[in-house]
Structure 1
Amino acid sequence: MRGNGTSAAPIAARRPAWLLDVSRLVSRAGQGALTGIDRVELAYLDYLAGGDVPAFALSRTRAGYVLTGRAGMIALADAIRGRGWPRAGLADRVLRPRDPARAAAEALLRRHAIARCMAVGLGQMLCRHLPAGTACFNVGHANLTARTLRGLRAVPGAGINVLIHDTIPLDFPDHAREGVPQAFGARLARVSAQADLVIYNSADTRARAEWHMAHMGRVPPGLVVPLGVDVARPDPAALPAGLPPPGPYFVTLGTIEPRKNHALLLDLWQGLVDDPPLGGIPALVVIGRRGWRNAEVFARLDTAHAEGWPVIERADLDDRAVAALLSGAAALLQPSLAEGYGLPPLEAAALGTPVICADLAIYRETLGSYPVYLAPTDAYSWRNTILEFAGNGKNPENGRRAGPNVPTWRAHCKTVLSKAG
């Protein structure tokens, strides 16, 4: 059964309160740079906390569920941005003995808690503190458990709104960590059964998700709303020593995992080292933390460093430093085999930086004619295009042009809240 996307569309003014699940952000405390999905949850946290409708945040913790109000939401956003976590108390440290950052994050929530409960008491707690008709949002793919969804349903007239970022674990299971496809499939089945509205970042994601949910028995009403893009102001002073590298350089940005296809870039740079072009070898800056199922690529990165290739790997740069590197790069390279949305190319385009990326439907949808599109397996074309842009990189204005109009988070959230179930 498929919804037509029109029945779950009461305007935001008819919803007396908003509830955002922040379990993902809390779980990411101390884990380094935010991922794309983390940034989406943070954007919703900022927008809802800054609105004029009563707003609440819910998180699952080791000790049960915690419900906070606007003050707790603002404190969480500030802490995530590096303004400091509170010291975890004894109980928090006992509950999270091997994860002090997570313990501190959960301590912050409890410090600002409106209410707390054990897992079995979620529905009763929410009914006591949320008005009937509250619009509930899960935008982080986390805490979509049967217990949580039952708890939300206990609130009279509550609407459950879920943002689906991608279905990569089901479409490309070989690229996922062990057990993730099965767990993701179970979450999507619960969304299929329970959601009043599913929010999609693109038509491509909607088509893929609805294909899977049709086989699960129900396709909820859906809404496609492009994600907002917030680009930090480039700050060269935020760069560590050695960056940017001298001469033309390229950037690739994202978790180092199989589907990002770093192997192609390392093949190309090894070829450049073995057979240097007349104009010299440009540098490659790899920005992102090491992920999963990619031991061979990790070993090759270690070899590149040991042998002095012009390949620099950094996982610890803040947004201002990343923007500074992107703004000076000859191009952003994204040879991904699969993407859910792909924020880095949009961020690069917003800065006017050329983008060379895989010819994927999602990039065509979000970036139009801005990038140079190449097959992610065509090493010959990638080498030639990189060397061409390296020549342009000696004159930073060459190859640069105005990027596409990128959506804002304000526009995204206003659209979503006007249609929320």
Structure 2
Amino acid sequence: MPEPAARLLDLTRSLRRVGRTATGVDRVELAYLSELLRRDAPLFGMARTALGYVLLDRAGMQAFHDRLMGHVPWGRANLMSRLPRGRNVALIQAESDLRRLALTRCLPAFLPRMLRRNLPPGFAYLNVGHSNLTDRVFGAMKEAKAQVAVLIHDVIPLEYPAYQRPGTVAPFRAKIDRVSAQADLVIYNSQDTQRRSEAQMRGRIPPAVVAHLGVDAPSPDVGELPAGLLPKRAYFVIVGTIEPRKNHGFLLDLWQSKGPTAPPLLICGSRGWNNSAVFDRLDQLPPDGAVQEIAGLSDNALAALVQGAAGMLFPSYAEGFGLPPAEALSLGTRVLCNDLPVLHEVLGDKAVYAALTEPYSWIRTIEDWAETPPDQRPATTFIAPTWAEHFKTVLKST
């Protein structure tokens, strides 16, 4: 397909997540921002703030990118951004900067007019962050003659509603219904996500493309690890938000069954939601016990911790892609994971798979890995998906 007249990247998620630990979805939106800034095609960015929409040109997007990356500090908070109460300081500063950087901005009701005045007909609107998928935005894009492309990361909230934050399932259902009815193209991060998403669509199935996410494992830096954190014997890691879907309780049960012979297990991630039973168990862990909860590590420190582990454990109930195990394999670390179709799709035969109904298979593998050093060959034979491949697939369609 020919290049669109311009591209408009929605940056609402990146704005709302300022000051928080980046998740996989956050990193995808940042990857799109970085890639589009490298290209010469006409480019704009849009974000929904508490007081309306801001439109950024290329220079404004570059300035926003530099702040997200920490190359430039956020500026002072202005009065307008302070008006909505109960928001964190980082978000207030970020919204203030976006207003200063904006090419223009508008109240919600005037979004269609702002788009028509500033973007050429036939521009491509890219939403890759699951944010801002509203009736107002879809209607404004259609009115402005845009081609709408949406990246769906997963439909886990619809498949496992019990694992979600209260009040989030119905809004997510509405998002998927809007995408189904109005998107010109849906981008899926895996064939498994496409199959599961289309099964959840009630009516129209939009045209689609599948493009695996790029896997960019951070550079390990042992020097960024807190002193004394690294265990002196073979240890295991699990990486991810401590939420019900990630199934940390399964590993806590395994370690409890092994008793004092259990190797160190480092649980790396911040606490999420709907997981009070697991939080209670973590709170009762002895400070010098085999299981340790670790949060707040830098990307480079976490990469060093993963690279030095005897193995990464990944008993997740459901995934849209599975970035943590893919990154672990890229670092040369062995991975033991739940037997999920999407993990087979992304990791191939480089991981070891075991069903959650077979805890003894997990225990045997963990015991074996604790006694044997890792074979370094998987580090060279695992071929991780790249962002270059992803964008080659996606941008020829948008």
TM-score between both structures, scaled by the size of structure 1: 0.91
Say whether residues 1:164 and 2:145 are aligned partners. Answer: no
Output aligned runs, 1:20-419, within 5 Å: 20-31=9-20, 33-83=21-71, 84-156=73-145, 158-213=146-201, 216-273=202-259, 276-277=260-261, 281-306=262-287, 308-392=288-372, 395-397=373-375, 401-419=379-397
Amino acid at match of 1:374: A
Amino acid at match of 1:262: H
CA distance in 2, matches of 1:315, 1:79: 23
Report how far residue 246 of structure 1 moved: 1.6
In structure 1, the partner of 2:8 is 19
Amino acid at match of 1:58: M
CA distance in 1, matches of 2:96, 2:354: 48
Report how far residue 249 of structure 1 moved: 0.9
Specify the SS of the correspondent of 1:229: coil
Contact 2:112 2:141 in 1 (8 A): yes
Specify the SS of the correspondent of 2:320: coil
Amino acid at match of 2:281: R
Contact 2:332 2:378 in 1 (8 A): yes
In structure 2, the partner of 1:5 is none
Specify the SS of the correspondent of 2:274: coil
Specify the SS of the correspondent of 1:185: helix
CA distance in 2, matches of 1:34, 1:118: 29
What do the CA deviations read for 1:307-346 (whole angstroms, capped 9, x no partner)?
x322222221111111111111101100011111110011
What do the CA deviations read for 1:175-194 (whole angstroms, capped 9, x no partner)?
11122221111000000111
Amino acid at match of 1:51: R
Contact 1:226 1:407 in 2 (8 A): yes
Q: Which moved more, 1:107-116 or 1:377-386?
A: 377-386
CA distance in 1, matches of 2:290, 2:93: 39
Specify the SS of the correspondent of 1:369: helix
Report how far residue 378 of structure 1 moved: 2.3
Report how far residue 400 of structure 1 moved: 5.3
What do the CA deviations read for 1:347-398 (whole angstroms, capped 9, x no partner)?
0111111000000000011111111101123222211211111112xx3557
CA distance in 2, matches of 1:411, 1:159: 22
Residues 67, 208 of structure 1: CA spacing in aligned structure 2 closer, same or farther, 3 A cutoff? same
Report how far residue 90 of structure 1 moved: 2.2
Contact 1:69 1:114 in 2 (8 A): yes
CA distance in 1, matches of 2:60, 2:218: 25
Amino acid at match of 2:249: A
Specify the SS of the correspondent of 1:313: strand
What do the CA deviations read for 1:107-163 (whole angstroms, capped 9, x no partner)?
12111100100000000001111111111100011110000111111223x110000
CA distance in 1, matches of 2:136, 2:86: 26
Consecutive unaligned residues of structure 2, counting only runs of 5 or more, are none
CA distance in 1, matches of 2:302, 2:61: 26
RCO (CA 8 Å, sep 6+): is it higher in 1 or 2?
1
Report how far residue 293 of structure 1 moved: 0.5
Contact 1:336 1:376 in 2 (8 A): no
Report how far residue 271 of structure 1 moved: 2.3
Amino acid at match of 2:37: A
Specify the SS of the correspondent of 1:133: coil
Report how far residue 167 of structure 1 moved: 0.7
Contact 1:346 1:406 in 2 (8 A): yes
Residues 258, 204 of structure 1: CA spacing in aligned structure 2 closer, same or farther, 3 A cutoff? same
CA distance in 1, matches of 2:100, 2:51: 14
Amino acid at match of 2:43: A
Contact 1:137 1:161 in 2 (8 A): yes
In structure 2, the partner of 1:6 is none
Q: Which moved more, 1:359-368 or 1:317-326?
A: 317-326
Contact 1:46 1:77 in 2 (8 A): yes
Report how far residue 301 of structure 1 moved: 0.9
What do the CA deviations read for 1:252-286 (whole angstroms, capped 9, x no partner)?
0111111111001111222233xx33xxx321111
